[in-house]
Amino acid sequence: MYQHIKAPAEGQKITVNADFSLNVPEQPIIPYIEGDGIGIDVGPVMLKVVDAAVAKAYGGRRKISWMEIFAGEKATRLYGHDVWLPEETLQAVRDYVVSIKGPLTTPVSGGIRSLNVALRQQLDLYVCLRPVRWFAGVPSPLKEPHKTDMVIFRENSEDIYAGIEFEAGSANAQKLIRFLQDELGSTKIRFPDTSAIGIKPVSREGTTRLVRKAIQYAIDNDKPSVTIVHKGNIMKFTEGGFRDWAYDVAQQEFGGELIDGGPWCRVKNPKTGRDILVKDSIADAFLQQILLRPAEYSVIATLNLNGDYVSDALAAQVGGIGIAPGANMSDSVAMFEATHGTAPKYAGKDVVNPGSLILSAEMMLRHMGWTEAAGLIIAAMEKAIAAKCVTYDFARLMEDARQVSCSRFGEVVIENM
Ligand SMILES: NC(=O)C1=CN([C@@H]2O[C@H](COP(=O)(O)OP(=O)(O)OC[C@H]3O[C@@H](n4cnc5c(N)ncnc54)[C@H](OP(=O)(O)O)[C@@H]3O)[C@@H](O)[C@H]2O)C=CC1
Ligand SMILES: O=C(O)CCC(=O)C(=O)O
Ligand SMILES: [Mg+2]
């Protein structure tokens, strides 16, 4: 029994088999978190678009029973002023297997730690999957935006995001600094009295499970390459470890053969017989390569912070974070979410682009095997964009665009199904 979550009267849970495949009933219950800021704008539009696509694709045979669950500011209003991520929300995400969320606010400097990161860590959603591709007609700063077609596998459970940080001047920061100096011989902390300290855990286990998913994705989707993005020249044991362990996965688990003595290697795709090139790139150079030579990159495997930067940078190449979807996944549980944040200045104004959350829902439908409904959403969005009927973010970059509101864009997508 839940305290504030109301389970719908109709519908069943999605369940997971031992091999992690899903049993999806005809009327699955799917939990959703509305989110803070523009969550109130994009959330309802996404729900309407998905319902319309499912109705159109399956003529009433299939239907989603949405179940609102709570996090962020809305949770504090319901559960108490300090309850940002109620235990029953985590439980529902676990129990119902597939869910979707809007953005959640994280204050800078003080205040609560990220609820987004907490959801990922507490549910061990270790893959942050962010596909980036261009839709015809979307305004882009690139001359050839269609050449950007990548899928980011961002490690979602480790790195600087673990939140092991101590404030400058605090007793714990001082204790840790003294330990580093006295016990570990560190002489490199430039201003020990006024330093804040953060710890960056990166493990072989965390790297291996992420890279395994990335290479398997390349195999299943017939992709030409997997690029390991890291800053291992500077952070030798964390980011450098990530690179070395990633190559180990390619060789030891997928039979990768070294090219010219390595470390690049070639994995034979058992499904197609084609080669998958496994290579690496140092993160700063990678950020210029994706602008200058995007066609050379396909599947990207990277650490948590790099993945955060790279996903917004790549989104900009194909229209911005207003249209960039994503998912947080473990082997069994998947939580879909927009790549963008709460954009507070636009909250409640019905102006932002709901495309990112709609496309995250499209990924969700595909994950459930409801590919016909997913296909309808893609085709309808393409038509809306081709007709230049777009929200402000695209309209300001397009000639002769017809600017529409967030909710109207959703209606146009539905009309085009
Ligand atoms: N997963 C999550 O829940 C995430 C949460 N956040 C949180 O969100 C808050 C705000 O973060 P901030 O860094 O400002 O990043 P945001 O993504 O919220 O917004 C940055 C800018 O991106 C553009 N933008 C974002 N969403 C849309 C959209 N749907 N349609 C069109 N344009 C969009 C706007 O650009 P313009 O001004 O040019 O119109 C906006 O000002 C922070 O608390 C942060 O922690 C951030 C990222 C992810
Ligand atoms: O948790 C946050 O507030 C920001 C997260 C973020 O930027 C992301 O997941 O891309
Ligand atoms: Mg981000």
- Tell me the DSSP string of 119-149: HHHHTT--EEEEEEEPPTT---SSS-GGG-E
**Cβ of 393 below 6 Å from ligand 1:** yes
The predicted pLDDT at position 260 comes to 97
In the chain, where the domains are located: 1-126+323-416, 140-155+201-318, 165-198
Q: Is the link from the previous residue into 263 a cis peptide, with omega within 30 of 0?
A: yes
Q: Looking at 132-238, list the stretches that DSSP marks H as alpha helix, in order from N- to C-terminal side.
A: 171-182, 204-220
Q: Which residue has the least CA distance to atom 31 on ligand 1? A: 322
Q: Give the per-residue pLDDT at 400.
A: 92
Amino acid 110: pLDDT: 81
Q: Which phi and psi angles does 185 have, rounded to 5°?
A: 70, 20
Relative orientation angle of helices 39-58 and 371-386, to the nearest 10 degrees: 120
The per-residue pLDDT for 174 is 97
Residue nearest to atom 3 of ligand 2 (CA): 106
| Residuewise pLDDT in 10s, the chain (417 residues) | 899 999 999 999 999 999 999 999 999 999 999 999 999 999 999 999 999 999 999 999 999 999 999 999 999 999 999 999 999 999 999 999 999 999 999 988 888 889 999 999 999 999 999 999 999 999 999 999 999 999 999 999 999 988 899 999 999 999 999 999 999 999 999 999 999 999 999 999 999 999 999 999 999 999 999 999 999 999 999 999 999 999 999 999 999 999 999 999 999 999 999 999 999 999 999 999 999 999 999 999 999 999 999 999 999 999 999 999 999 999 999 999 999 999 999 999 999 999 999 999 999 999 999 999 999 999 999 999 999 999 999 999 999 999 999 999 999 999 999
Residue 341 labeled ligand binder: yes
Question: Domain 140-155+201-318: which topology?
Answer: Isopropylmalate Dehydrogenase (3.40.718)
Alpha helices in 6-38 (DSSP H): none
Helices and strands (DSSP H and E) totals, the chain: 13, 18
Residue 243 annotated as binding?
Answer: no
What torsion, rounded to 10 degrees, do the Cα atoms 187, 190, 192, 197 define?
-100
Can you give the pLDDT at residue 67? Answer: 98
Residue type, 56: K
Does this chain's domain 1-126+323-416 share its CATH topology with 140-155+201-318? yes
Question: Using CA positions, which residue lies closest to atom 7 of ligand 2?
Answer: 308
- Which residue among 108, 114, 303, 329 is best mutated to probe the pocket of ligand 2, counting the most ligand atoms within 8 A of its Cβ? 114
Annotated catalytic residue, options 231, 247, 297, 350: 231
| Residue whose CB lies within 8 A of the most ligand 2 atoms, among 116, 152, 336, for a mutation test | 116
CATH number of 1-126+323-416: 3.40.718.10
Judged by DSSP in three states, 336 sits in strand
- Beta-bridge partner residues of 98: 334
Q: Which residues pair with 228 in a beta bridge?
A: 280, 301
**What is the structure's pLDDT at 163?**
87
Give residue 212's pLDDT.
98
Q: Which long-range contacts (CB under 8 A, 24 or more apart) does 1-6 make?
A: 2/88, 2/92, 3/79, 3/86, 3/88, 4/70, 4/78, 4/79, 4/86, 4/88, 5/31, 5/67, 5/68, 5/69, 5/70, 5/88, 5/89, 5/92, 6/67, 6/68
- Comparing CA positions, the residue from 85, 81, 82 lying closest to residue 35 is 85
Closest CA to 349 of 32, 40, 49: 40
Cβ burial of 28 (10 Å; 0-12, 13-18, 19+) is buried
DSSP state of 112: P
Kindly report the pTM of this predicted structure. 0.97
- Name the residue among 36, 12, 22 with its Cα closest to residue 331: 22
Three-class SS of residue 415? Answer: helix
* Residue 332 Cβ < 6 Å to ligand 2: no
